[in-house]
Structure 1
Amino acid sequence: MNNKIKLQLCLMRCLHALLPLDHRKVVFCSFSGGTYSDNPKAISERLHELYPSAKQVWLFNDPKEKQVMLPQYIQGVKRWSLRAIYELATSRVWVFNDTQPYWAYKGKNQVYIQTWHGDRGFKKILNDCRPRTKKDQLPETKTCDLAIAGSDFGESIFRSAFRYTGAILKTGTPRNDKLIDIDVETILQKKKELHLDASCKYLLYAPTLRSKASETKQDQAIQQIDLIEVLAFLEKSTGERWKVLVRAHNKVVGLSGIPESEKILNVSHYEDMADLLQVSDILISDYSSSVGDFALTSRPIILFQDDRESYLEHDRTFYFDLDTSPFWIAQSQNDLVSILCDLPNRDSKQNCQEILSFYKTHESGHACEDTCNFIIEKIH
């Protein structure tokens, strides 16, 4: 433990000892302070509906940048600033979807909820990649009071990757409540909010991050996928108008190599993936856990994996053999076109059900409410 971490830990302990706890305060953080999105956002919004007197504080890398998108009931604070340490030390509840720093000391009267952000992923994470020693074990192993899972698979990840042995609420993933039983009116309203053409079909292309692009802070090149050809085949086979939404992973600066076309829209700036999944008619990804969420919509999912060997060598290994899973997989442009042409003969609803069963999914549609009820109980 370096001196800076020791100093921060000491400061938090002192604040705990000197300052009273604000029992109505809840601190949120999503993707290490990078976004206002995901499970914390879904919980935050529902909590305000159920318990508007709760004080909500969000930690951001750049709170001024986020201010324009925040509701009035949220106070944005710079992540890991002195003010953030104060807010953490004096709040009743923490809600995070990423790991805590080692210095984040939690008092005995505080509650830490870990929602994570990939309930049904492929990629091995944390201890499953590199087991921690007792000296550098994850804070969550001991400090977490409740984990949120939407599947047996998600529960197993908490047990192995986090070495977590505590309570798990397994009624769903809060961000996914909006993906269950979506009606046409909801889709049209969301398209209006996103300034999308209501009469058009949308394919979402959302590749996961590559470690090199994430570490160098450079644009990540898209795979060897011809999106123009994909659009042409879709329009020909369905007789409808199609556009492509392209979204980079939140830990990547952007994507390079996106074709210039009025039919291809870069929506990487849009932070909440669940909204994009709501309005998309097909999802093409590679190794992103978003496919496990999108299966709730019963719409077609295709994994485009033209670089699997390279990915396994330079990025992550997987929890299971993808070739024995229910997913439709294309390892080349020809494979992808073949699947797209065959979509009228494929039962996407059945395939999605097989995917959900594969993960032993438990998505009730009221995961937000269940989590908020737990928080309100602790506040009281």
Structure 2
Amino acid sequence: MNINKIIKKTKKSKYIQYCLKLLFYIVGKIPSRKNTIIFESFFGKQYSDNPKAIYEYIKKEYPDYKLYWSIDRNYYSNFKHQNLNYAFRFSFKWIFLMATSRYWVVNCRLPLWIPKPRDTIYIQTWHGTPLKKLGIDIEEVRMPGTDTVTYKKNFLYESNKWDYLISANSYSTEIFKRSFGFDNTVLESGYPRNDFLYTHNNKQNIEEIKSKLNLPKGKKVILYAPTWRDNDYYGKGKYKFSLKLDLNTLKKELGDEYIVLLRMHYLVAENFELNEFKGFVYELSTYNDINELYLISDVLITDYSSVFFDYANLQRPILFFTYDIEEYREELRGFYFDLEKQAPGPLLENNEQIRKYLKRISEGSYQLPSSFKVFYNKYCYLEDGGATKRVVTNLLDQKDNHS
């Protein structure tokens, strides 16, 4: 029986929701299985991010642990080739595993109705270094299906369940503790997912990834990875996105040398019509591991997405396509720092500027700005390929402290 279908009716019946919570509480009375861990990435939609890095390390270094993945059944295709133990989100098997596993390793918030059993240790890995304001720091929430007061209340209710929170740097730690109202243990370790950018950054791995994706050989790669806009949506959890990047001009001027990879935020619901750009533009928004896309890309174009914090580890050019920066900063989210002054690359307002900078990069006349080194030293200083080991050692090698 798919409990997800029941949950969709909970707005109509608080009784059903109560019964689900009661079931979870009852199963949660079973003593937790000490060596069992369940992982979830982006609401069960991906095998990716920090949970993936932690999972693969534990699987290799701690073979006695029983590891499971929480999967949204609509996205099973993203997992079917991974040889994983898994449970479909909201199935009875999933409820049993969530209620009895010793550890939860998750990178986004879980549904509010899920109670955390007393013996469970909840590791919230989160999924980015913050530029945009988060949690209770957001002055006015403009997302569908909620309001500012409710959003902040729910956020605090969820973050109160976290036992550990992973942070990439001291800057993130300070913001996370305040914006999430988090008073438990922060593991300031660097991001496990970024280890890959240090351990696999070589020609052989890059060529293997390109071959796996059937990308043309000999072409350089532009990765376009923008974020979403809170006030532009179809409905709760489904956001619109208008593609402002002039693909026609880029194809005409750079098509002989470059290809473009589109990587939309996981909340963006658009399906772009790209037939006329076949062989030049590749839509890879649902591709599991963005780290592989970072690795094969020669330049990143983004806006206010936290992807640039991760991509900076590769010390390659980053262009910021910030055509709506005033609206985004003043009316939607607000920023934690002055992007104009601290960005590790130029802020560009239109496609002509984008074209000119890509030309400079293509010709080899572009150099990383002086702001890049300052940025790298402030936000990437913990990243060295060993973050996953630091996190897992803190969690599992000190498990006696958790009993």
Letter of the 1:65 counterpart? Y
The match for 1:374 is: 394
The match for 1:250 is: 266
Letter of the 2:43 counterpart? S
Return the alpha-carbon distance in structure 2 between the equivalents of residues 36 and 173 of structure 1. Answer: 16
Return the alpha-carbon distance in structure 1 between the equivalents of residues 333 and 270 of structure 2. Answer: 20
What SS class does the counterpart of residue 311 from structure 1 fall into?
Answer: helix
Given candidates 46, 56, 64, the residue that maps to 2:67 is 56
Shift of 1:145: 1.7
Residues 1:331 and 1:255: Cα distance change in structure 2 (over 3 Å):
farther
Does residue 175 (structure 1) correspond to residue 193 (structure 2)? The answer is: yes
CA contact (8 A) 2:313 2:380 kept: no
Does residue 335 (structure 1) correspond to residue 340 (structure 2)? The answer is: no
Return the alpha-carbon distance in structure 2 between the equivalents of residues 302 and 294 of structure 1. Answer: 11
Q: Deviations over 1:212-232 (max 9, x none)?
A: 246374763212x21232355
The match for 2:310 is: 293
Given candidates 80, 89, 94, the residue that maps to 1:79 is 89
What's the TM-score once normalised by structure 2's chain length? 0.83
Return the alpha-carbon distance in structure 2 between the equivalents of residues 298 and 345 of structure 1. Answer: 16
CA contact (8 A) 1:221 1:256 kept: no
Note the 1:90-105 alignment, pairs <5 A: 90-105=100-115
Identity between Structure 1 and Structure 2 (%): 30
The match for 1:125 is: 134
Note the 1:126-141 alignment, pairs <5 A: 126-129=135-138, 130=148, 136=154, 138-141=156-159
Does residue 222 (structure 1) correspond to residue 239 (structure 2)? The answer is: no
Quote the RMSD (CA, aligned, Å). Answer: 2.8
Shift of 1:44: 1.1
Provide structure 1 residue ranges, at least 5 long, that are not aligned to the other structure: none
Shift of 1:136: 4.0
What SS class does the counterpart of residue 243 from structure 1 fall into?
Answer: strand
Instruction: Pick 1 or 2: higher relative contact order, CA cutoff 8 A, min separation 6.
Output: 1
Shift of 1:37: 1.3
What SS class does the counterpart of residue 94 from structure 1 fall into?
Answer: strand
Return the alpha-carbon distance in structure 2 between the equivalents of residues 369 and 193 of structure 1. Answer: 28
Return the alpha-carbon distance in structure 1 between the equivalents of residues 174 and 271 of structure 2. Answer: 32
Return the alpha-carbon distance in structure 2 between the equivalents of residues 250 and 350 of structure 1. Answer: 32
The match for 2:368 is: 348
CA contact (8 A) 1:205 1:284 kept: yes
Letter of the 2:206 counterpart? I
Shift of 1:243: 0.8
What's the TM-score once normalised by structure 1's chain length? 0.87
Return the alpha-carbon distance in structure 2 between the equivalents of residues 89 and 360 of structure 1. Answer: 36
Q: Deviations over 1:199-248 (max 9, x none)?
A: 2210011111233246374763212x21232355457xxxx721111122
The match for 2:31 is: 20
Matched pairs, number: 372
Return the alpha-carbon distance in structure 2 between the equivalents of residues 305 and 52 of structure 1. Answer: 46
CA contact (8 A) 2:136 2:152 kept: no
Provide structure 2 residue ranges, at least 5 long, that are not aligned to the other structure: 1-10, 139-147
Return the alpha-carbon distance in structure 2 between the equivalents of residues 49 and 350 of structure 1. Answer: 40
**Structure 1, 255-264 or 271-280: larger mean CA deviation:** 255-264
